[in-house]
Amino acid sequence: MKRLENKVALVTGGGRGMGANITKRLAAEGAAVVLTYSKSAEQSEKIAAQINAAGGKALALKADSAFPEEVTSAVNKTIAEFGHIDILVNNAGIYIGKAFEAHALEDYELIMAVNVRAVYAAALAAVHHMPEAGRIITIGSNMADFAGGAQSTLYVMSKSALSGLTKGLARDLGPRGITVNLVQPGPIDTDMNPANTELADLLRSRMALKDYGTGDDVAGLVAFLASEEGKYITGTALTIDGGYNA
């Protein structure tokens, strides 16, 4: 029997970047997976179709994480389709990188909406339908613990907020056997942080392991946390950054 057989997972932003790796990995481990997207419709539908063609179960839904009602709706549609949610993976995220003097208040609204409020909204909608041994796994960032450079104030702030959310929720939901954790990747080769730039060379020079990670590296950790083997880990942050923060 596969590790996540009979489990239902929802992965926000699951059609692109490391979210796509997480979607495919959870499906390969036997879970039925609902993935959301805001812009990447074609890519997301394609991944869902590939999983279904391979004998798995997947559904792609449009849900812009900037709007909490769309996140809630995606959770409700998952429950309508599959009955409950065992594994919630809050992966969708954005980066706003610019000099602080160039910021506008709208930048705050947007990054907090996508990176933080959507996580809260998804958890709030999902917990009513999450059985014992449920899992809430959020993708934060190693930058929450070490900003490492300029022009990342909002991103670092938003990812740090996830630490409090994770710890508080772990306490709230622990009595129900639900675990809540934060996965904090370092440099991972995606559209958000391509491995072939000057910035990438600088980041590599600061790592203990001198190379970028892959979406599959993160997906492996998420699958472990989602599985029975991860049952005693809760309320914590697991940093997966090639030793960048060491």
Number of Cβ within a 10 Å radius of residue 37: 25
Taking CB under 6 A as the rule, which mask of x and - marks residues 52-71 in contact with ligand NDP? ------------xxx-----
Judged by CB under 6 A, the residue of 188, 219, 222, 226 near ligand NDP is: 188
| Structure-token pair, residue 242 | 């090639």
Residue with tokens 């990054």: 111
Contact (Cβ atoms closer than 8 angstroms) between residue 78 and residue 127: no
155 is annotated as an active-site residue: yes
Q: What is the DSSP letter of 175?
A: G
Q: Which is nearer to ligand NDP, 83 or 149 (CB)?
A: 149
Interaction between residue 181 and ligand NDP (CB under 6 A) = no
Contact (Cβ atoms closer than 8 angstroms) between residue 137 and residue 225: yes
Q: How far is the CB of 18 from ligand NDP (least distance, A)?
A: 4
Contact (Cβ atoms closer than 8 angstroms) between residue 43 and residue 15: yes
Size of the site for ligand NDP (CB under 6 A): 29
Interaction between residue 190 and ligand NDP (CB under 6 A) = yes
Q: How far is the CB of 219 from ligand NDP (least distance, A)?
A: 11
Judged by CB under 6 A, the residue of 8, 33, 40, 239 near ligand NDP is: 40
Task: Please report, as residue ranges, which positions from 98 to 117 form the binding site for ligand NDP (by CB under 6 A).
Answer: 114
Residues in Cβ contact with 48 at an 8 Å cutoff, skipping those fewer than 6 apart? 35, 58, 59, 60
Judged by CB under 6 A, the residue of 31, 74, 92, 207 near ligand NDP is: 92
Judged by CB under 6 A, the residue of 33, 37, 136, 182 near ligand NDP is: 37
Catalytic, out of 155, 212, 232, 244: 155
Judged by CB under 6 A, the residue of 47, 74, 137, 139 near ligand NDP is: 139
Task: Please report, as residue ranges, which positions from 209 to 238 form the binding site for ligand NDP (by CB under 6 A).
Answer: none
Q: Applying CB under 6 A, which part among 32-40, 46-54, 101-109, 162-170 lies near ligand NDP?
A: 32-40
Q: Which is nearer to ligand NDP, 133 or 147 (CB)?
A: 147
Contact (Cβ atoms closer than 8 angstroms) between residue 171 and residue 236: no
Write out the DSSP string of 65-113: TTSHHHHHHHHHHHHHHHS--SEEEE-------S-GGG--HHHHHHHHI
Contact (Cβ atoms closer than 8 angstroms) between residue 20 and residue 215: yes
Interaction between residue 166 and ligand NDP (CB under 6 A) = no
| β-sheet with 236-240: strand ranges across | 58-62, 32-37, 8-11, 87-90, 135-139, 179-185, 236-240
Interaction between residue 191 and ligand NDP (CB under 6 A) = yes
Bridge partners for 88 per DSSP: 10, 136
Contact (Cβ atoms closer than 8 angstroms) between residue 15 and residue 44: yes
Q: Which residues are near ligand NDP by CB under 6 A?
A: 12-13, 15-19, 36-40, 64-66, 91-94, 114, 139, 141, 185, 187-188, 190-193
Indicate which residues carry an active-site annotation: 155
